[in-house]
Amino acid sequence: MSSFEKKLNELIEESYGTPEALAQQLDLAVEMFFYLEEDVFTKREVQNVVASLRGVIGVLRNKN
């Protein structure tokens, strides 16, 4: 397993528990992009999705 894969697995385990939980967060992000308007999603839901995206972006940028 590469260092990148280890970091990605650590991110998933520490932040989401399972790959499926992260996948659900990312699915919600996609939905938010289509339906983002007032009172559709709570502020907390949007913040959780942003945190998910930032975590994945961080791992991808530091993949070396």
Structural domain of 16: 3-61
Measured between alpha carbons, how far is 11 from 41 in angstroms, rounded to an integer? 25
Contacts of 52 (CB under 8 A, 6+ apart): 15, 16, 22, 25, 26, 29
Based on the structure, what is the number of domains in the chain? 1
Note the pLDDT tens digit of each residue in 17-60.
988 888 888 888 888 777 778 888 888 988 888 888 888 887 77
Q: What is the per-residue pLDDT for 64?
A: 47
User: Which residue type occupies 28?
Assistant: L
pTM for the structure as a whole: 0.59
Contact 12, 18 (CB under 8 A): yes
